[in-house]
Amino acid sequence: MSPQTTDLLIVIQWGFLFYFAALNTGYLILNVVSFFNIRHYMDAQVLSELPRTYTAFKPPISILVPAYNEEATITASVRSLLQLAYDQFEVIVINDGSKDDTLEALRREFQLEPFPEAYWVKLPTQPVRAIWRSRIHPNLRVIDKDNGGKADALNAGINASRYPLFCAVDADSVLQRNSLQLIVEPFIEDSRTIAAGGTIRIVNGCTVKEGFLVSVGLPEKWLPLLQIVEYLRAFLFGRMGWSALNAMLVISGAFGLFRKTSVIEVGGYRTGTVGEDMELVVRLHRHHRKRRIPYRIVFVPNPICWTEAPESLAVLKAQRVRWQRGLSESLSMNMGLLFSGNGGWISWGAFPFTLLFEWFGVFVELAGYVFMIAGFGLGIVSGQALFAFALVSVALGVLLSVSALVLEEMSFHLYPRYSDLARLFLAAVLENFGYRQMILYWRFIGMLRWMFGPEGHWGAMPRSASWQSRL
Amino acid sequence: MVSAAFSDSIIRYAAWTGLAMLVLIVLMLFQVARLRYALRDRAEQEKHFLELWRPLLMQELSGIRTPLPQLKSGEEEPFLKLWNHLQDTLRGPAHQYLNDVAVRCGMAEHAQRLLRQGGLRSKLLGLATLGHLGEHSVWNEIVEMTRDPDSILSMAALGSLLKIDAPQALRELLPRMIEREDWPVAQLAILIEEAGEHSSFSFLMDAAERMESASEPEELARLRRALHLLEVVPPQKALPVVRHIMKSATDEEVLAQCLRFLIEPSDLPEVRRMTEHAAWAVRLQAAQALSRIGSLEDVPVLSKLLGDPVWWVRYRSAQALVSLARGDGAVLDRIREQIDDRLGRDMLTMAMVEGGKT
């Protein structure tokens, strides 16, 4: 082997090692921060368990439900939303030019009648065709508009909303009766709060009755089970850690609460993106940091929203490709946040971390796999080296998942049986053998689609809703 | 086979790192199992505890004194949780019965120990307990805790002091309540209300009145917080202070807050004047005040506000018109016909439908 090749290999080797060390240091810090934060949160809960009433001071909330071809599930979703335990709220369904009978289903079920709304265009959207209000639930309105995508639908909902806080909810989200009570707390506790997101859990395997979760369980199928481990990791030490540093970059579109004036100030949701939820949060950070406006974007660790995970590879692939595109759009559109003077943890921590490890990391990780496998094939990477690095990679993956299980046990311990824990651990091990590599490949495709593909549109996901059949 | 890409030392290092991680995984799994076991154990213990103690406490609450068993080690927390729960739920002489039980079980001393030795969870439980017990001997320690940067702990300390001695707590801590922005005003107001101490009204009114000449941003922020707190005072009592503040106030938020208190027709001239204010938040509150205290004489003023550039002012004005017309659809139709502005007409139509007046 020529000296130049050897030098090149040494550079590559140190590049990978540096990347690996930086990534793990980041995860370690997040883990430690999450550990202390979750302990503090759980300790503080001891008084929340006592009967206290803050009802008179809870700000009213507008729940926005964008719907596109949701004919089959929309009425059940809205019915459950109308039963949420909260003093004052309204539900606004935005029918984004559905091609099916979404509007008709709503009209029948809730006795909708035309409403002479003095519609205020705070955010530009596709034309609104009509606004309806329920005769039996005066706090339910439906906006029927031309198709413009999820972000456009949410903007129309913001325009029609009456209350200072709005809650963006996916039409298929399963909430708990007290979800609004829990997620509004950061707004009551600190007037600087402009957005809050809760833990999203996977509903596959659980029992849902009349739109509400009644018991928690694990799915029989492996694909959603593997995603449960992923969600635990992402929420319990990812978002929890960044939230403690006021540097959380994502609030899931499935359930998030926002201060309306702050969102309008930044121009609402950005249309033409597939990651409108993340992009909005990143833009809110950028806006407030740039203008030095004190603010907080908060993560509520309580599991307050449940969503269905894809059960087929094709649907999972579409979801992950979309997520990676969304991530790419959100970061690239807000590059001004990177290392900005007044940026704090968001500019010097979360943003570069996400950029390097979740965005650009796709290429590095993929290159790592190719290098190791090709190197082994070409004889420049020994069997021992391949084994040693595979061991580290798998062990780290399992370690991170198991640390999420520890945080789960410290906090909500939702999965009741020992066998559930055993299955989750097994999933944490197995995901390293094929699943993670598959997800990495789909993220790579997402990057390519972002670079070369057409503009994004509604990320409709076919649902099996198997949990719904257990009514 | 010798690796060209990685030196032996790096491979060895990687292998050892991997093995170390495997050991960590095993340790963490043990931790998960331990936590789960402890959780089951605790749940079982709490179940047995409740089966024994709930009936005993209920008996005590009905005034029947019975010999109480010794609390076992580890039962202090479930006891205090149940005890505090009952204290927060019950009214009347039940508090005294419960306090008596806590003293007999040695919980007054235990709560003090929690305050001094425990972590956040213990401290919070200790504060809640000492508050219900009205334990004056730890006053200074708890006052010190209100200075803690952790707002959860400091607020709990404040709540405890308000329960022990509300007038003294307000006398000593009202400035801090107005000062500390991390103490949510809404929760402070609830704590004051819960304290049920009517003498607090005078403290609050004095505090607000003293700040009437606020002009610097920090002073104005404090005045706004004081006005928020003043909302726990019955409006009739607060009115003289509010009127006094309004006379000299120029800050739009302060003016808007003051308008929320006005409930007497004698304030109508001031309210009508405020409908012309440059700040929309003030015009909005003026419209709402007119819906409370105005009359049909105010229809022209409100009709004019229906043409306001701000949607919310138009909306509240339309609601005020619906309210003043007292459900008379014919009156509202006449008002609507006289409105030239299309946006204003649309707004009134919407408010009429919402109010069921069409």
pLDDT in tens, A37-52: 999 999 988 877 776 6
Spatial contact of A293 and A191, defined as CB atoms under 8 Å apart: no
Q: Which residues pair with A128 in a beta bridge?
A: A145
Distance CA B319, CA A118 (A): 13
With CA atoms as reference, the chain B residue closest to A410 would be B35
Q: For residue B17, give how far its alpha carbon lies from the nearest alpha carbon of chain A (Å).
A: 6
Does the distance separating the beta carbons of B24 and A382 come in below 8 Å? no
With CA atoms as reference, the chain A residue closest to B182 would be A190
Count of CB atoms situated within 10 Å of the CB of B137: 10
- Find which of A38, A392, A400, A426 to mutate to test the B interface (most B CBs within 10 Å of its CB): A392
The reply to whether A292 touches chain B by the CB within 8 Å rule is no
- Render the burial of A216-249: b for 16+ CB within 10 Å, e for the rest: bbbbeeebbbbbbbbbbbbbbbbbbbbbbbbbbb
Please report residues of B whose CB lies closer than 8 A to that of A31.
none
The pLDDT value recorded for residue B115 is: 93
Does the distance separating the beta carbons of A115 and B1 come in below 8 Å? no
Q: For residue B347, give how far its alpha carbon lies from the nearest alpha carbon of chain A (Å).
A: 5
* Residue B115 and residue B90 share a domain: yes
Please report where in the chains the tokens 């906006």 appear, as a residue: A143
Indicate which CATH number applies to the domain containing B308.
1.25.10.10
Whether B127 shows a pLDDT value over 60: the answer reads yes
* Residue B287 and residue B358 share a domain: yes
| A-proximal residues of B, 278-337, CB under 8 Å | 311, 314-315
Does the distance separating the beta carbons of B347 and A52 come in below 8 Å? no
Q: Specify if B29 maps to a domain.
A: no
Q: Is A423 helix (H, G, I), strand (E, B) or coil?
A: helix
Separation of first and last alpha carbons in chain B: 89
Would you tell me the crossing angle of helices B185-195 and B166-179 to the nearest 10 degrees?
170
- Residues in CB range of B317: below 8 A, 6 or more apart: B287, B302, B303, B305, B306, B308, B347
* Residue B329 and residue B313 share a domain: yes
The pLDDT value recorded for residue B322 is: 93
Confidence of residue A383 (pLDDT cuts 50, 70, 90): confident
Over residues A404-409, mean pLDDT: 91
Identity of residue B196: G
Confidence of residue A316 (pLDDT cuts 50, 70, 90): very high
Closest to B243 in 3D by CA, of B225, B226, B228, B263: B263
Separation of first and last alpha carbons in chain A: 67
| Residue B212: half-sphere exposure toward Cβ, Cα within 13 Å | 13
| B-proximal residues of A, 81-140, CB under 8 Å | 115-118, 120, 133, 138
Domain end marker among B261, B286, B309 = B261
Distance CA B130, CA B109 (A): 9
With CA atoms as reference, the chain A residue closest to B84 would be A50
Range of the domain at B209: 183-261
Surface-to-core class of residue B319, CB atoms within 10 Å of its CB (0-12 exposed, 13-18 middle, 19+ buried): buried
CA–CA distance from B183 to each of A48, A73, B40, B191, B217 (Å)?
Answer: 16, 42, 36, 11, 18
With CA atoms as reference, the chain B residue closest to A191 would be B184
| Residue A78: half-sphere exposure toward Cβ, Cα within 13 Å | 32
Higher pLDDT, A469 or A303: A303
Confidence of residue B95 (pLDDT cuts 50, 70, 90): confident
pLDDT tens sequence across B151-168 = 999 999 999 999 999 889
The reply to whether B39 touches chain A by the CB within 8 Å rule is yes
Going across the sheet that includes A212-215, the strands are: A112-114, A128-134, A140-145, A89-96, A61-67, A165-169, A255-259, A193-202, A296-307, A174-175, A212-215, A207-209
The reply to whether A420 touches chain B by the CB within 8 Å rule is no
CATH number for region A57-312: 3.90.550.10
Surface-to-core class of residue B244, CB atoms within 10 Å of its CB (0-12 exposed, 13-18 middle, 19+ buried): middle
Domain layout of chain A by residue ranges: 57-312
pLDDT tens sequence across A443-466 = 999 999 999 877 666 555 555 555
- Find which of A402, A407, A411 to mutate to test the B interface (most B CBs within 10 Å of its CB): A402
Considering only the beta carbons, identify the residue of B22, B120, B353 that sits closest to A43. Answer: B120
Q: Is A415 helix (H, G, I), strand (E, B) or coil?
A: coil
What is the H or E stretch that residue A275 is in? none
Higher pLDDT, B210 or A360: A360
Structure tokens at B232: 């726990």
- Find which of B13, B32, B39, B41 to mutate to test the A interface (most A CBs within 10 Å of its CB): B32
The rounded mean pLDDT for chain A is 89
- How remote is the C-alpha of A194 from its chain's centroid? 17
- Residues in CB range of B3: below 8 A, 6 or more apart: A380, A381, A382, A384, A385, B11
Confidence of residue B230 (pLDDT cuts 50, 70, 90): confident
Q: For residue B89, give how far its alpha carbon lies from the nearest alpha carbon of chain A (Å).
A: 7
The pLDDT value recorded for residue B199 is: 63
Confidence of residue A1 (pLDDT cuts 50, 70, 90): low
Does the distance separating the beta carbons of A40 and B3 come in below 8 Å? no
Spatial contact of A395 and A386, defined as CB atoms under 8 Å apart: no
Distance CA B185, CA A191 (A): 9
The pLDDT value recorded for residue B217 is: 81
Q: For residue B184, give how far its alpha carbon lies from the nearest alpha carbon of chain A (Å).
A: 5
Q: Specify if B178 maps to a domain.
A: no
Does the distance separating the beta carbons of B85 and A51 come in below 8 Å? yes
Please report residues of B whose CB lies closer than 8 A to that of A115.
350, 353
Q: Specify if B330 maps to a domain.
A: yes
The reply to whether B38 touches chain A by the CB within 8 Å rule is no
Q: Specify if B88 maps to a domain.
A: yes
Q: Is A365 helix (H, G, I), strand (E, B) or coil?
A: helix
Q: Specify if B56 maps to a domain.
A: yes
Domain end marker among B164, B199, B224 = B164
pLDDT tens sequence across A421-450 = 999 999 999 999 999 999 999 999 999 999
Closest to A64 in 3D by CA, of A187, A167, A188: A167
* Residue B352 and residue B273 share a domain: yes
Structure tokens at B191: 């704590």
Please report where in the chains the tokens 């999933």 appear, as a residue: A427
Please report residues of A whose CB lies closer than 8 A to that of B39.
409, 413
* Residue B343 and residue B271 share a domain: yes
Does the distance separating the beta carbons of A396 and B4 come in below 8 Å? no
Over residues A245-265, mean pLDDT: 95
The pLDDT value recorded for residue A73 is: 85
- Render the burial of A302-319: b for 16+ CB within 10 Å, e for the rest: bbbbbbbbbbeeebbbbb
- How remote is the C-alpha of A188 from its chain's centroid? 23
With CA atoms as reference, the chain A residue closest to B13 would be A388
The 3-class secondary structure across chain B, one letter per residue, is CCCCCCCHHHHHHHHHHHHHHHHHHHHHHHHHHHHHHHHHHHHHHHHHHHHHHHHHHHHHHCCCCCCCCCCCCCCHHHHHHHHHHHHHHCCCCHHHHHHHHHHHCCHHHHHHHHHHHCCHHHHHHHHHHHHHHCCHHHHHHHHHHCCCCCHHHHHHHHHHHHHHCHHHHHHHHHHHHHHCCCCCHHHHHHHHHHHCCCCHHHHHHHHHHHCCCCCCHHHHHHHHHHHHHHCCCCHHHHHHHHHHHHHHCCCHHHHHHHHCCCCCHHHHHHHHHHCCCCCHHHHHHHHHHHHHHCCHHHHHHHHHHCCCCCHHHHHHHHHHHHHHCCCCHHHHHHHHHCCCCHHHHHHHHHHHHHCCCC
| The residue count for chain B | 358
The reply to whether A55 touches chain B by the CB within 8 Å rule is no
Does the distance separating the beta carbons of A413 and B186 come in below 8 Å? no
Distance CA A283, CA A269 (A): 9
Identity of residue B351: A
The reply to whether A6 touches chain B by the CB within 8 Å rule is yes
Whether A309 shows a pLDDT value over 80: the answer reads yes
Q: For residue B280, give how far its alpha carbon lies from the nearest alpha carbon of chain A (Å).
A: 15
Structure tokens at B294: 């105005």
| The residue count for chain A | 471
Does the distance separating the beta carbons of A381 and B5 come in below 8 Å? yes
- How remote is the C-alpha of A133 from its chain's centroid? 30
With CA atoms as reference, the chain A residue closest to B2 would be A382
Does the distance separating the beta carbons of B81 and A46 come in below 8 Å? yes
- Residues in CB range of B245: below 8 A, 6 or more apart: B208, B209, B211, B212, B223, B227, B254, B258
Give the rounded percent of residues in chain B with a pLDDT score beyond 90: 52
Please report residues of B whose CB lies closer than 8 A to that of A402.
25, 28-29, 32
Confidence of residue A165 (pLDDT cuts 50, 70, 90): very high
Helices (H), A88-175: 102-110, 150-160
Domain end marker among B261, B280, B311 = B261
Please report residues of A whose CB lies closer than 8 A to that of B38.
none
ipTM summary value: 0.81
Does the distance separating the beta carbons of A405 and B28 come in below 8 Å? yes
Does the distance separating the beta carbons of B354 and A388 come in below 8 Å? no
Over residues B164-180, mean pLDDT: 90
Does the distance separating the beta carbons of A46 and B124 come in below 8 Å? yes
Spatial contact of A141 and A45, defined as CB atoms under 8 Å apart: no
Surface-to-core class of residue B272, CB atoms within 10 Å of its CB (0-12 exposed, 13-18 middle, 19+ buried): middle
Whether B204 shows a pLDDT value over 70: the answer reads yes
- What is the four-CA torsion angle of B207, B212, B216, B217, rounded to 10 degrees? 70
Whether A291 shows a pLDDT value over 50: the answer reads yes
Q: Phi and psi at residue A61, in whole multiples of 5°?
A: -130, 140
Give the rounded percent of residues in chain B with a pLDDT score beyond 70: 96
Residue B230, phi-psi category: left (phi > 0), alpha (psi -120 to 50), beta (remainder): alpha
Lowest-pLDDT range, B141-145, B188-192, B198-202, B287-291? B198-202
Q: Are strands A128-134 and A140-145 parallel, antiparallel or unpaired?
A: antiparallel
- Residues in CB range of A149: below 8 A, 6 or more apart: A96, A271, A272, A276, A456, A457, A458
Please report where in the chains the tokens 């030490």 appear, as a residue: A237
Closest to A227 in 3D by CA, of A465, A420, A403, A436: A436
Over residues B50-59, mean pLDDT: 90
Higher pLDDT, B3 or B194: B194
The reply to whether B27 touches chain A by the CB within 8 Å rule is no
The reply to whether B41 touches chain A by the CB within 8 Å rule is no
Confidence of residue A188 (pLDDT cuts 50, 70, 90): confident
The total number of structural domains in chain B stands at 3
pLDDT tens sequence across B238-278 = 898 899 898 888 899 999 999 999 999 999 999 999 999 99
Confidence of residue B3 (pLDDT cuts 50, 70, 90): low
Structure tokens at A466: 């198997």
Q: Are strands A61-67 and A174-175 parallel, antiparallel or unpaired?
A: unpaired
Please report residues of B whose CB lies closer than 8 A to that of A380.
3-5
The rounded mean pLDDT for chain B is 88
| B-proximal residues of A, 213-272, CB under 8 Å | none
Q: Phi and psi at residue A428, in whole multiples of 5°?
A: -65, -30
The pLDDT value recorded for residue B192 is: 84
Confidence of residue B2 (pLDDT cuts 50, 70, 90): very low
Confidence of residue A53 (pLDDT cuts 50, 70, 90): very low
| B-proximal residues of A, 357-376, CB under 8 Å | 371, 375
- Residues in CB range of B10: below 8 A, 6 or more apart: A13, A17
* Residue B199 and residue B141 share a domain: no
Whether A3 shows a pLDDT value over 80: the answer reads no
Residue A339, phi-psi category: left (phi > 0), alpha (psi -120 to 50), beta (remainder): left
Whether B298 shows a pLDDT value over 90: the answer reads yes
Give the rounded percent of residues in chain A with a pLDDT score beyond 90: 63
**CA triple B107-B111-B116, angle to 5 deg:** 150
The pLDDT value recorded for residue A470 is: 39
Closest to A93 in 3D by CA, of A50, A118, A130, A122: A130
Whether A380 shows a pLDDT value over 60: the answer reads yes
Whether A471 shows a pLDDT value over 60: the answer reads no
With CA atoms as reference, the chain A residue closest to B346 would be A118
The reply to whether B43 touches chain A by the CB within 8 Å rule is no
The reply to whether A188 touches chain B by the CB within 8 Å rule is yes
| Residue B220: half-sphere exposure toward Cβ, Cα within 13 Å | 12
The reply to whether A25 touches chain B by the CB within 8 Å rule is no
